[in-house]
């Protein structure tokens, strides 16, 4: 199994293609960092936050052989009008088939995004996948579809028990 947040975070230097700069309380980068409590445990510094990077996740799924995913912190996306998924990279005008191994190429790459509608409803009390707002369900299903790996668990709140277990009856196809 693999675990991933519903958005990306990073600590320290280096390329972060989907990074959202937290330039004020109205910015999405600020929203992800504060609502998601993205602060270093030792230093207290704010982590870098950005949209979910699908090529990066596809690579992670490939090399780790995940059979299912635990998608955490879906609740942090609540309140956003739209949510972007970084679905591919372009380097020097050409689409890349996967995440580049070279950090220089990664830092020079442009991200192509797919935009999904957000949701406003509080999801922290949801106990089943069907209780999630339709747009939240669509987000999870789209990530699952792009990764080709089932998302079995969905985190709907900051506490350990605020999680939906979809069980073993799901598959990667969309209805």
- pLDDT tens readout for residues 71-116: 999 999 999 999 999 999 999 999 988 888 888 988 899 999 999 9
Dihedral sign from CA coordinates of 47, 52, 53, 58: positive
Dihedral sign, CA of 78, 80, 81, 84?
negative
Residue found under tokens 């949801």: 126
Structure tokens at 58: 């596809």
pLDDT at 13: 87
Q: What is the 3-state secondary structure (H, E, C) of the chain?
A: CEEEECCEEECCCCCCCCECCCCCCCCHHHHHHHHCCCECCCCCCECEEECEEHHHHHHHHHHHCCCCEEEECHHHHCCCCEEEEEEEEEECCEECCCCCCCHHHHHHCEEEEEEEECCCCCCCCCCCHHHCCHHHHHHHHHHHHHHCCCEEEEECCCCCCCEEECCCCCCCCCC
For residue 170, is pLDDT > 80?
no
Tens of pLDDT along 8-57?
A: 999 888 899 999 988 888 999 999 999 999 988 888 888 999 999 999 99
Better-predicted residue by pLDDT, 152 or 41? 152
Nearest to 6 by CA among 43, 31, 32, 25: 32
For residue 42, the model assigns a pLDDT of: 87
More confidently predicted of 70 and 98? 70
129 pLDDT higher than 90: yes
The answer on pLDDT for 172 being more than 80 is no
d(CA 170, CA 24): 40
């Amino acid at each position: 199994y693999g675990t991933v947040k519903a958005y990306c975070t990073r600590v320290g230097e280096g390329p972060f293609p989907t990074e959202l700069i937290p330039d004020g309380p109205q910015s999405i980068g600020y929203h992800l960092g504060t609502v998601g409590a993205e602060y270093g445990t030792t230093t207290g510094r704010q982590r870098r936050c950005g949209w979910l990077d699908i090529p990066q996740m596809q690579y992670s799924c490939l090399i780790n052989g995940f059979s299912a995913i635990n998608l955490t912190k879906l609740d942090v996306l609540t309140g956003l009008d739209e949510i972007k998924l970084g679905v591919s990279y372009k380097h020097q005008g050409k689409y890349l088939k996967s995440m580049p191994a070279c950090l220089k190429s990664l830092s020079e790459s442009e991200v192509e995004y797919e935009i999904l509608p957000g949701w406003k409803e509080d999801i922290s009390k949801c106990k089943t996948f069907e209780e999630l707002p339709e747009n939240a369900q669509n987000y999870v299903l789209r990530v699952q579809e792009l990764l080709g790996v089932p998302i079995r668990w969905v985190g709907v709140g900051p506490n350990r028990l605020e999680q939906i277990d979809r069980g073993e009856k799901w598959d990667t196809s969309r209805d």
